[in-house]
Amino acid sequence: MNHLPFDTTAIAPMNADETGAAIANVIAQVRRNLTDFTHASQNHSSVNNIYPAVANDQWTAGFWPGSIWLAFEATGDADFRDAAQIQVQSLLHRIENRIATDHHDMGFMYSPSCVAAWKLLGDGDGRKAGLLAADQLVERFHEKGAFIQAWGAKGAPENYRFIIDCLLNLPLLYWASDETGNDQYRDLARRHMATSLRYSVRPDFSTYHTFYMDPETGDPVRGSTQQGFSDDSSWARGQAWAIAGTAFLYRLDPTPALLEVFDNLLAYYLARLPADLVPYWDLIFTSGDEPRDSSSAAVVACGLLEMAGLTTPKRATTLRGLAARMLASLSRSYAVTDPQASNGFLLHATYSKKTPFNGCRGEGVDECVAWGDYFYFEGLTRLSRTWTPYW
Ligand code: GLY
């Protein structure tokens, strides 16, 4: 990595004791939440820092079970295992009956929950659910344009687009190929990845959130935003998904091009961070009082720690050091300390902030979000020990 733009010493990295204490806090919060969320899902984001319980019909339904699995791995406690397996059954039912699955978020939903159950316990229902989800993802692939359609009915002209977030859905397809011996899953993942990186990543290595293709010709049409500030800004979480996505995919597909784009995406992101290493919700903002997105910092930390395990010792030290500072900032200034005030792990995330230029309704602004909590816990886990990813 040639071009880290700064060497911040403002935030001291977490040491082992601090990491252990942060993990213990999160595990205690998972334990408290079992009462409300063993037989229900968590909403995608909190309301006044409290997650409501909801039916299993959101794209985020895999993150809470993922957090329970991380707690199970850390403790071996059968209460966690049993609760996570109830969530796995719910997700199996959902994919078998195609309940609210008209979108591409199968990896987000099934990797940290059902694939994790298979990897950790050899849970056959977890494997079955993961493979059904991978099949659903394959169905959303368009030959014209070579991409997986993000949202809505397949082929609808107004939805003929992909989004940068989908990089995190692709590990499910690599896993499905490994499990079944059928190369089609991996081949489609590679083709989507190539399309996404070719068109979503701008020349300055910022990213478009979404990108439209021409349904007649398969040619690129235009980048646009859904959740970012505007079409030509770089939504912080989109950039975070791109950084973590390229790192996770580099483990599965170690091509030099992925490494190069990871470095450049990261450089763009780092150059726009405020001093506490937690971005504003869109990278167009580098100071002021716009809301932060703590979840982006957690996602990026996981990407850095993933790449640290795949690179030279010198580079790994740099990446781990950065991740340890980001997680330190989250733990010291963003983590929930009072369980009466919040049933989440990480405060000050932004799900979708409405602007005159985007497609948001405005939800989950300055709240906890399900993936922020999950990736914070995953990041702490990765920092504390060698961890086998669910992805
Ligand atoms: N994948 C949707 C989001 O990050 O909000």
Catalytic residues: 105, 165
The one-letter code for the residue type at 50 is I
- Kindly report the pTM of this predicted structure: 0.97
Ligand 1 atom closest to residue 44's alpha carbon, by position in its atom list = 5
**Which one of 45, 103, 106, 165 would you pick to mutate in the ligand 1 pocket, going by the greatest count of ligand atoms within 8 A of its CB?**
165
Going from the Cα of 351 to the center of ligand 1, the distance in angstroms, rounded, reads 7
- 3-class DSSP assignment, residue 349: strand
Residues 6+ away with beta carbon under 8 Å from 328: 11, 12, 13, 14, 18
Return the residue whose CA atom lies nearest to atom 2 of ligand 1. Answer: 165
* Cβ atoms 110, 62 nearer than 8 A: yes
* Residue at token pair 């059968």: 78
Helix (H) or strand (E) holding 340: none
pLDDT digits (tens, 9 = 90+) for 109-148: 999 999 999 999 999 999 999 999 999 999 999 999 999 9
> How much is the pLDDT for 3?
46
Give the length of the chain.
391
351 CB less than 6 Å from ligand 1?
yes
Average pLDDT score over the chain: 96
For the Cβ of 165 lying below 6 angstroms from any atom of ligand 1, the answer is yes
pLDDT tens for residues 351-366?
Answer: 999 999 999 999 999 9
Alpha carbon of 9 to ligand 1 centroid (Å): 30
Task: Evaluate whether 265 touches 337 at the Cβ level (below 8 Å).
Answer: no
CA of 165 to the centre of ligand 1 (A): 7
The model's confidence at residue 1, banded by pLDDT at 50, 70 and 90, is very low
Decide: helix, strand or coil at residue 254: coil
Residue 81 is predicted with a pLDDT of: 98
Query: In this predicted model, what pLDDT tens digit does every residue of 35-86 receive, in sequence order?
Result: 999 999 999 999 999 999 999 999 999 999 999 999 999 999 999 999 999 9
